[in-house]
Amino acid sequence: MNVHRTVAELRRALDPDRGSKRRIGFVPTMGALHEGHISLVEKAAEENDTVVVSIFVNPIQFAPGEDFNSYPRSEARDLELSSAAGATHLFAPEATEMYPPGFGTEVHVSGLTEVLCGAPEARGSGHFSGVTTVVCKLLNAVQPDRAYFGQKDAQQVAVVRRMVRDLNIPVEIRALPTVREADGLAMSSRNRYLSAEDRERALAIPQALEIARHSILDGRSISSAIESAVARLEEAAIAPEYLEARDPDTLAPVTEAGREPVMFAVAARVGQARLIDNTVVEAQRIPQEVSSR
Ligand code: AMP
């Protein structure tokens, strides 16, 4: 495993692969790796000849008061885990390498970034500008054939796909399913902020999504599905920041279940952690006769 701290080093190391047309897969992360990240690395190793993992806790996607300083950092362990999963290069730059003095460019995707986690009362669209700016820079640094993202951050996937399409960035974006703990909680680096009691309460999040999913599959309306899901959260004393039905690609609100896939997305603070999760109900599984229940 080769560790690179600068874009120049990384590019030099990848030149021979590029010259011999070996496929480069790329997994961007903020480190503190868990099985969710590892599933991306394994898939990248399966589908490519060379796999680059980046670890960079990107300061510009955190708002003041968010957990930038306390975000877990565990590079030595991350290196071992990603190497065992098939990564060949680790790119772990310092913030000054990514944002040297005088840095003044922002990549902003409009529309998609203003809802859900990008709503002003949530993290705000500035969060996503931080994400798209760093992902654009990382894609330019690595120049991969394919880049791997988790469906857990469904809005991030939609926004990155839009950026890549709008800016003609020559990369295939692959989105992989959310990896969950045995009891259903989506794996997240932020789960370690949960006390034992909050960890138990947090289970209501995937349970609420399952309730919404089953409601739709039973032919109930979107509003009724959301109502039942929110009721499950309330039982666990969780007040969601949002729990909404959206089109998984355009993020447009879905008010009637029917011919289009519907994504239920939720964000909620549980103790010290802000958690997000989602589930997508495929269109062909939704009964076409939606009752008014
Ligand atoms: P992060 O380190 O949180 O920025 O995540 C890096 C990548 O891993 C993103 O594409 C995430 O969507 C993905 N990821 C995080 N958690 C999971 C999970 N539980 N299952 C699958 N992918 C995940």
pLDDT in tens, 178-201: 999 999 999 999 999 999 999 999
Indicate if ligand 1 lies below 6 Å from the C-beta of 36: yes
Give 178 Cα–ligand 1 centroid separation in angstroms. Answer: 8
- What's the pLDDT at 198? 98
Q: Of the residues 29, 135, 205, which should be mutated to test ligand 1's pocket, given the most ligand atoms within 8 Å of the CB?
A: 29
- What's the pLDDT at 293? 53
Indicate if ligand 1 lies below 6 Å from the C-beta of 240: no
Catalytic residue among 4, 37, 89, 127: 37
172 - beta bridge partners? 146
Indicate if ligand 1 lies below 6 Å from the C-beta of 89: no
Each residue's pLDDT tens digit, 124-158: 989 999 999 999 999 999 999 999 999 999 999 99
Indicate if ligand 1 lies below 6 Å from the C-beta of 54: no
**Nearest protein CA to atom 10 of ligand 1, as residue:** 149
Give 100 Cα–ligand 1 centroid separation in angstroms. Answer: 27
Q: What is the pTM of this model?
A: 0.96
- What's the pLDDT at 286? 81
Indicate if ligand 1 lies below 6 Å from the C-beta of 179: yes
Indicate if ligand 1 lies below 6 Å from the C-beta of 277: no
- What's the pLDDT at 283? 79
- What's the pLDDT at 288? 72
Is residue 37 annotated as part of the catalytic site, yes or no? yes
- What's the pLDDT at 290? 53
CB 146 within 8 A of CB 25: yes
- What's the pLDDT at 48? 98
Give 39 Cα–ligand 1 centroid separation in angstroms. Answer: 9
Give 64 Cα–ligand 1 centroid separation in angstroms. Answer: 22
Indicate if ligand 1 lies below 6 Å from the C-beta of 57: no
Each residue's pLDDT tens digit, 164-177: 999 999 999 999 99
Below-70 pLDDT ranges, the chain: 289-293
Give 217 Cα–ligand 1 centroid separation in angstroms. Answer: 27
